[in-house]
Structure 1
C-alpha cells in the first residue's frame, strides 16, 4: 500500500451508492464504479459513473455473501473500454465489518481476471458499511493486490476513511486526534504571499502530512509587511516565496513536509503536483489563477477553499480617496457543486480585463483598478491584519467540514462574506447559486489537462 493512494467519490455518487447498497433487508448488495485516474504521481481513482446492479440480478444475496452477475461485469467492461477506465466492484457489509472477508477474497479472485482481460487498466473492489464508510483495494495487471490508503468523499462534510481505521470519521475538531488525522492528508496552497503565507503557517502547525506550495514569484522588499516568515535578507537575495515558506515549515515540523514548487499555476508541472492533493487552498490574487484552481477542483475531484480580500474606496467631498469598506470572502467548492464560475467569482469579462492588463496596461487603466485597495496605486499595502482574518476564516472553514462542529448544516455556508467596516458577516448556501453542467467533473488524466490545450502533453 502506498500512503497517497486514494479512491474519491463525489457526494452525489456516494449518496446514490449508499441508498442502493442498503435497501433495508439486511443482505449484501452490489454496484460498480467507473473511474478515471489522476495524472499525478500517486494512484488516485476518481469516480465518474456508477452502475447499480439490480438486487434480483444477483443469484445469491445473503447477509454475508453475494454473487456478481456476469451481464453487469460485461456492461462495466463495455463502459470502461473506450478510454481504458478503471472498474471498482462495490458491495455492502450490512453487519458493519470494515474489512474484506475470505468470501470477498474468493470473489475477487474470479471477477478480477475478467476485468483485467477486458480492459487494460488497474481495477479493484470496495466495501461500504451502514455508516457510509468505505474501504477499497486494487489489483494490478499481474493480479497482485494492494490496499487503497484512503477513500475520500469531498461533500458538504469532507469525509475520509483511512484503511487502517475502524471506519469512523477520524477525530474531533481542535484535538490531538484531529492532528493525527491531518497527518495523513496532503494540502496544496496556491499562492503563498499575503493570505497564502498565513494559510501555510496554520496548515503546518495543524499537522498536515504534506504541503504542496505553489508560487512563481520572488520575495521583494515591498512584500515584507505581509508575508509571514520572510526577511530583509530574503528580499535582497530575491528568494522564491515557496522556498522561504518551505524553510519555515521545516523549522516548525522538520523535513519532508513542505514541497516548494517555484512555478506558475498555469504550468503543467504545478497542475500535476496539485493532482495529488486532498484539498486545495486558493490564495491567488488573479482571476486566471482562480480559474485554474476551479478547473483542478472539478477535474481531480478535490475540495477547494478560495479566499479573497479587498478594500473598496470612494471619493470624499474633497476628491481624495476614502475607504468605503474592508471586505473578505471565503468560498468552499465541493466537486459536483456550484463552481467559482457559477458564483461569478470570475467571469469572462473579468478574465478579459485581466488579460488586457497584462498585455496593454494603458488600455486597462481606464477600465479597472488593481490591487488590495481599489482605485489607489499602493505598492506596499499594510494589510496583514486583514489577510490574517481572512486566512483564519478559510482554514476554520476546512476544519468545520472535515471535523464537523457547526450547529447548522454545512451546506448553508458555501460562501462567507465579512465586512470589517460594518462589523458584519453574511453567509450564502449552495442553493443561492445556479449550477451549470460541469463537463470536466472527474476528468482526471484526460488530455489536455483541465481541457486547456496549453497544459497538454
Structure 2
C-alpha cells in the first residue's frame, strides 16, 4: 500500500501560525515548526513547538519575498538537536499561490543543507495561504524532495489539505465529494465488538482508504446477537473478531483496506499500527483501554472519538430489578484539548479498581455485573439497537467535525450524552472541561511509547 505522509497541526499552533503569517499588511512572514515523528511505518510529522520570526527583524518583507535572520535557524537547531527532531520552515503566500515558487526552491536548496548539518534528520518547508491551508514538503539526505500527501488540522473542526487540491471549496457532508476525501484517510477502530463492529461497518461503507481493526478477543456464541457479520461458524471456530471483520471488509471493498491486529491495544504491536491513523475510534469497554486510546490521541495528535453505553438499574419498592435509564455517550477529544482523563471518563481510582478486579478469582462474575445492564447477570444482553444508536452518533460526530454542517460551532459539542428513557440529548462544550497539563502531547516515537514502560522497545 502506498505510504501516506502527513503533517499534523493542533489548532493552537495553527491559530498562532495563521495570525502571525497574515498580520494584515499583505507581506510575507515566516515561522518555524519543530516536529516529532510518529513511530508508524508511514511518515507522520507532529507539530510540537512553534517559533515565530518577528516581522521587524526581517531585512526584506514584500508580497512575494522574505529574508529573515539566521539566528532563528540556529534557535530551531538548538531545540531540535537533543532528540533529532524535524524542522519545517513556514512562510506565507499573501497572494494565494498554493504552490512553491522558484524563489522558494532556491532558498530551500541552501537552507536545507544548513539544517541537515545542524541536525542529521529529515527537514522541510511549507507555505500557508490566507484561508489557512498549508502545503508542505520534506528533503531526504540525497536531496530528493517528497511532497507531504496531506496536511491535517485537528481542532474543533478537522481540516484536511491534500497536496494539489486544498484550494477547492469546502466539501459538503454526505456527498460523493466527502467519499473522495475519506478515500485518502486511515481510520483505526479499537474494539471490534458491540459498538465497534457497527462503527467499522459504517467506516467501510463510507469509503475510508484503510481501516485498522484492533481487538484481542474471539467470537463467541453469546455475542452473536450484537457483533455485525459474525456467524455460528465463527463462534464454533473461536475466530478472532478482527479476522472475521477484515474478511467482511474485503468482500465489500476488496483487498488492502482492512488491517486486522489480533492483539490488545495495550501492546506495542497495536500502538505502532494505530500510530499511522488519521482518526481514532475508541469502542472499548475497559478503563485501561480508554486510557491507552487517550494517550495515543495525545502522543500522535490523532483526533479521538470515544463511545460508550450503559443501562443502569434500580430496585423497586417491591424489590424487583427495573431499568432506571438507557444511556449513551460520545466524546470528541481534539489533540491539545481536554482529554478523557480530564473529563473523568476514567480516573486513577477506576484504573486501580479495574486492575484489582482482574486479579480476583471472581472477576468474571463481577465483570458481568458491571456490564451492559448494571446489577444483572446477563451473558448475552440484547443491546444491538442501543449500540446502533450510539455507534451512529459516534460516526456522525466525526462527519460533523470533518465536514461541518451544524448550525452552531462544533466547540459546543465536545461531549454528547443521550437517554432513551427520557428522550433527551445533552451536550457539553470544550470550555466546560478543566484541562490539565499534558506532557504526552506530540511525544511521537519517544520511548517508551505513550510514556508506558510496558510498551517500551523489547
* TM-score scaled by length of structure 2: 0.98
Partner of 2:332: 332
Deviation at 1:167, TM superposition (A): 2.8
Partner of 2:37: 37
Q: 1:298 to 1:62 in 2, by over 3 A?
A: same
- Shifted more, 176-185 versus 248-257: the winner is 248-257
SS at match of 1:194: coil
SS at match of 1:417: strand
Q: Is the 8 A contact 1:190 1:215 kept in 2?
A: yes
SS at match of 1:87: strand
Instruction: Tell me how far apart the structure 1 counterparts of residues 193 and 408 of structure 2 sit (CA, whole Å).
Output: 33
2:211 is the alignment partner of 1:211: yes
Partner of 1:116: 116
Instruction: Tell me how far apart the structure 2 counterparts of residues 112 and 123 of structure 1 sit (CA, whole Å).
Output: 7
Deviation at 1:68, TM superposition (A): 3.3
Q: Is the 8 A contact 1:134 1:167 kept in 2?
A: no
Deviation at 1:365, TM superposition (A): 7.0
Partner of 1:191: 191
Deviations 1:389-422 (A, max 9, x none): 0000000000000000000000000000000000
Q: List runs of 5+ in structure 2 lacking aligned partners.
A: none
Partner of 2:163: 163
Deviations 1:107-156 (A, max 9, x none): 10011010000001100000000000000000112221110000011000
Instruction: Tell me how far apart the structure 2 counterparts of residues 384 and 219 of structure 1 sit (CA, whole Å).
Output: 16
Instruction: Tell me how far apart the structure 1 counterparts of residues 446 and 150 of structure 2 sit (CA, whole Å).
Output: 23
Instruction: Tell me how far apart the structure 1 counterparts of residues 422 and 256 of structure 2 sit (CA, whole Å).
Output: 43
Instruction: Tell me how far apart the structure 1 counterparts of residues 138 and 288 of structure 2 sit (CA, whole Å).
Output: 37
Q: Is the 8 A contact 2:99 2:135 kept in 1?
A: yes
2:254 is the alignment partner of 1:292: no
Partner of 2:8: 8
Instruction: Tell me how far apart the structure 2 counterparts of residues 305 and 185 of structure 1 sit (CA, whole Å).
Output: 15
Partner of 1:233: 233
SS at match of 1:9: strand
Deviation at 1:255, TM superposition (A): 1.0
Q: Is the 8 A contact 1:161 1:168 kept in 2?
A: no
- Aligned pairs (5 A) from 1:20-419: 20-168=20-168, 171-362=171-362, 369-419=369-419
- Shifted more, 139-148 versus 443-452: the winner is 139-148
Query: How many residue pairs are counted as aligned between the two chains?
Result: 457
Deviation at 1:363, TM superposition (A): 8.3
Q: Is the 8 A contact 1:353 1:368 kept in 2?
A: no
Deviations 1:15-60 (A, max 9, x none): 0000000011111100000000000000000000000001122211
Q: 1:169 to 1:187 in 2, by over 3 A?
A: farther
SS at match of 2:195: helix
Deviation at 1:169, TM superposition (A): 6.3
Instruction: Tell me how far apart the structure 2 counterparts of residues 300 and 84 of structure 1 sit (CA, whole Å).
Output: 17
Q: Is the 8 A contact 2:288 2:351 kept in 1?
A: yes
Deviation at 1:66, TM superposition (A): 1.4
Deviation at 1:370, TM superposition (A): 1.5
Deviations 1:2-21 (A, max 9, x none): 64100001100000000000
